[in-house]
Structure 1
Amino acid sequence: MNTTAIKPILIVEDSAEDFTALGRAFRKHALQNPVLRCEDGEQALDYLQGQGRKIGWPQTLPAIILLDLNMPGLDGRDVLGAIKGDPSLHSIPVVIFTTSANAKDVATCYQLGANSYLTKPLAYAELEEKVRLIVHYWLEASELPA
């Protein structure tokens, strides 16, 4: 089993509805990793830079981060830039998972260091398939940093 099995998956998503659907899709694929949610960019950076100092947050950094782009306050671009600019966080794979298919957003995210860019599908069956691909590629096939 991959060492990522004990690391959480961090989903940075302001929509409770989208997070619920993602959580359901991850459970369907028998994901062993705990799935955490940060509701905005500030909370995500607080967790990542604090590395579990708050009660209830894990002591370990996530195996991967699924990051929404369009959130109130610090948006996904700001969070991505902060993660990739921080030597203690930059090796964590960040998958942009957003409704925007705008070519400028895609280019900006890759310039900021995104590891992948996926658009959120509207249909739940398509969401399940994208989650299956994420689990297979990032948690089963890829060798991630310890």
Structure 2
Amino acid sequence: MSEAGQHTPEPAQLLLVEDNPGDVRLTREAFKQGRIDNDLHTVSDGSDALDFLRQRGEYEDAPRPDLVLLDLNLPRKDGEEVLAELKDDPELQSIPVIVLTSSRAEEDIARSYELHANAYLTKPVDPDEFIETVRAFEKFWFSVVRLPPEDDDQ
């Protein structure tokens, strides 16, 4: 352990793919309250998510996310399509993807894991529980889990 305040790691780069403004606001609030320094980037549909990940168009300067939070119910391209394309791309497939959705359907859960989602979380309806869920997964993914290094030269 380094001395308090001496080591400041780079902020975690998170991409939230979510079309519900209320859920975006709650997620931002949860990360603001959390202990992990992060840059939370948001896009509201699947097409923009893939442009962000591939640094295309208006997202050409976007950072490579350390983690993607992906809703399944999205306009233009749904979450399953985004997940399938991301995990099929050798340059992007090592980025962990957490499905964060309101769906409790068994087929959505099974399909997400078939498409190589790293975790599946159901959004609680209660705002306080939603914030607790985000904070719990933040602690797990950034304090316990070792994420893949950014440069995956193959």
- TM-score normalised to structure 2 length: 0.86
Structure 2 residue aligned with 1:64: 67
Aligned match for 1:121, one of 112, 124, 136? 124
1:28 to 2:33 alignment:
yes
Structure 2 residue aligned with 1:54: 58
Identical positions, percent: 37
Aligned match for 1:145, one of 143, 148, 151? 148
Q: Secondary structure at the match of 1:30?
A: coil
Q: How many residues align?
A: 143
Unaligned residue ranges in structure 2 (runs of 5+) = 1-6, 150-154
Counterpart residue identity of residue 88, structure 1:
E
Aligned match for 2:83, one of 75, 80, 84? 80
- TM-score normalised to structure 1 length: 0.90
Counterpart residue identity of residue 90, structure 1:
Q
Which of structure 1's runs of 4+ aligned residues deviate more than 6 A? none
Deviations 1:42-63 (A, max 9, x none): 0010010127x636843x3111
Residue pair 2:46, 2:77 contacting (<8 A) in 1 also? yes
Where is the helix percentage greater, Structure 1 or Structure 2?
1
Unaligned residue ranges in structure 1 (runs of 5+) = none
**How far apart in 2 are the matches of 1:2 and 1:95?**
25
Q: Secondary structure at the match of 2:19?
A: coil
Higher relative contact order (CA 8 A, sep 6+): 1
Structure 2 residue aligned with 1:17: 22
Counterpart residue identity of residue 25, structure 1:
A
